[in-house]
Amino acid sequence: MPEGCFSIHQVRTFFPLFDRNNLSRWIKKGLLIRLRREWYTFPELLQRPEFSHYIAGRFYRPSYISLFTALSIYGMIPEAVMSITSVTTLKTTSFENPFGQYTYMTVKPELFFGYKLVMLPNGVGGIGQPQQAWQIAYPEKALLDLLYLYPFYDNENELEQLRLDENFMTTDLDMDRLRKYQQRMAVNALDTRIKKLLKLYDIND
């Protein structure tokens, strides 16, 4: 399949008489991996770390990687995050497969923005096919998503526990993008948390 992961519905689009019992047999033989419900992929892709990011948005969409996962990818927090956390307009859910633990946090449709596409290396997600991409929040949106969805980060002590990289906060954080996204979200409580965070890192408004 060109996407690298596929559903039974896609298979039957090409092969209407396909016997789905074949999928169970191929899984037992180690030829396929079951991702979630009707979704499958190939075991060789376990060797490609980027693919775990791609499938995060492939079989539960719309969604984009954000929150602690995005902060870790950008080097904004010191810890490596083992689970993959995304933002979605669908219901909050989580599940696990051989590629990792996946968690999806719900936001209103009007707050679903501020992400970009990252292309998979050639050959990942579909050999001989056009490159595929996964979606991740910009650093500023990942930070806003975090403070919006985890409202207990509302005081200096809790904000310090995030252990945000000081160099990133004072040098690499795009304040114009942060302010633009913050205004678009238009959440008063979030504005208060951002103000406290910037004060903590001595960043002028």
Mean pLDDT (whole number) for 26-42? 90
42 domain-assigned? yes
Q: What is the mean pLDDT of the chain?
A: 89
**Between 127 and 9, where is the model more confident?**
9
Q: What is the pLDDT of residues 35-77, one digit of tens each?
A: 988 889 999 988 888 899 999 998 899 999 999 999 999 999 9
Give long-range contacts, CB 8 A cutoff, 24+ apart: 127-135. 129/2, 130/2, 132/3, 132/4, 132/54, 133/54, 134/50, 134/53, 134/54, 134/56, 134/57, 134/65, 135/57, 135/63, 135/64, 135/65
Count how many domains the chain has: 1
CA distances from 43 to 10, 27, 98, 119 (A): 19, 10, 9, 21
What is the structure's pLDDT at 71? 96
Confidence of residue 79 (pLDDT cuts 50, 70, 90): confident
205 domain-assigned? no
160 domain-assigned? yes
Q: What is the pLDDT of residues 156-176, one digit of tens each?
A: 999 999 999 999 999 999 999
Confidence of residue 142 (pLDDT cuts 50, 70, 90): very high
83 domain-assigned? yes
* Neighbouring-strand partners of residue 64: 87
Domain that holds residue 189: 5-200
117 domain-assigned? yes
75 domain-assigned? yes
Q: What is the pLDDT of residues 173-199, one digit of tens each?
A: 999 999 999 999 999 999 999 999 999
What pTM does this model have?
A: 0.87
Tokens 């191929």 sit on residue:
26
151 domain-assigned? yes
**Between 123 and 106, where is the model more confident?**
106
196 domain-assigned? yes
* Residue 97 tokens, joined: 């497969």
